[in-house]
């Protein structure tokens, strides 16, 4: 009968990790370091799990995809503009009458009643539109520096004028076009 080899080192926390929880944490937009903190493991452990445990790696990826898709949807809505309903609720008034006369009026804080419903419009956001176009249609929308003759300057077109003499200017290097 051979001896059983005893494992050396700290016991793994891998058995206590829920892949569903990992996916959920990543879908909330948490970084891998933050997921590690919630799972009470080191950030390097997350890296090791991703390399050696395919289901764990897939849960992290799927969670990140979910978070990213929410951001894309929000950016798109912000770029296009949208409307939403704003609802105002106030405590219910409880009025007591005796012989047709109002005797008392109390506000019941436990019962809220809708008093006003307004549809509000959020106008399209130009910054969100620019961001979207620069990333989705970079060839058409990327920033370009164009000179008067219509050419895009390159580094060879720039001339170094030297360091200003002591006591003049702010001491920074200056570059000018030819």
Domain residue ranges of the chain, discontinuous segments joined by +: 14-81+123-177, 82-122
Which pLDDT belongs to residue 178?
Answer: 36
Q: DSSP for 127-143?
A: HHHHHHHHHHSHHHHS-
Those residues with Cβ within 8 angstroms of residue 90's Cβ, 6 or more apart along the chain or in another chain: 112, 113, 115
- Over the stretch 55-106, which tens digit does the pLDDT of each residue have? 999 999 999 999 999 999 999 999 999 999 999 888 877 777 778 777 766 7
Q: DSSP for 27-49?
A: HTT--HHHHHHHHTS-HHHHHHH
- Over the stretch 11-66, which tens digit does the pLDDT of each residue have? 677 777 899 999 999 999 999 999 999 998 999 999 999 999 999 999 999 999 99
């Amino acid at each position: 009968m051979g001896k059983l080899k005893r494992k050396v080192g700290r016991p793994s926390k891998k058995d206590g990790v829920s892949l569903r929880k990992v996916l959920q944490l990543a879908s909330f937009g948490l970084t891998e370091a933050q997921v590690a903190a919630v799972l009470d493991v080191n950030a390097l452990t997350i890296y090791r799990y991703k390399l050696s445990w395919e289901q764990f790696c897939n849960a992290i990826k799927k969670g990140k995809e979910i978070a990213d898709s929410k951001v894309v949807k929000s950016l798109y809505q912000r770029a296009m503009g949208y409307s939403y309903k704003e609802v105002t609720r106030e405590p219910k008034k409880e009025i007591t009458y005796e012989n047709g006369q109002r005797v008392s009026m109390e506000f019941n804080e436990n019962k809220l009643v809708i008093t006003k419903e307004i549809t509000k419009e959020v106008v399209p956001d130009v910054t969100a539109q620019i961001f979207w176009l620069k990333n989705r249609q970079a060839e058409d929308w990327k920033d370009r520096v164009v000179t008067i003759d219509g050419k895009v300057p390159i580094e060879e077109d720039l001339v170094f004028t030297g360091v200003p003499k002591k006591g003049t200017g702010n001491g920074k290097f200056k570059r000018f076009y030819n």
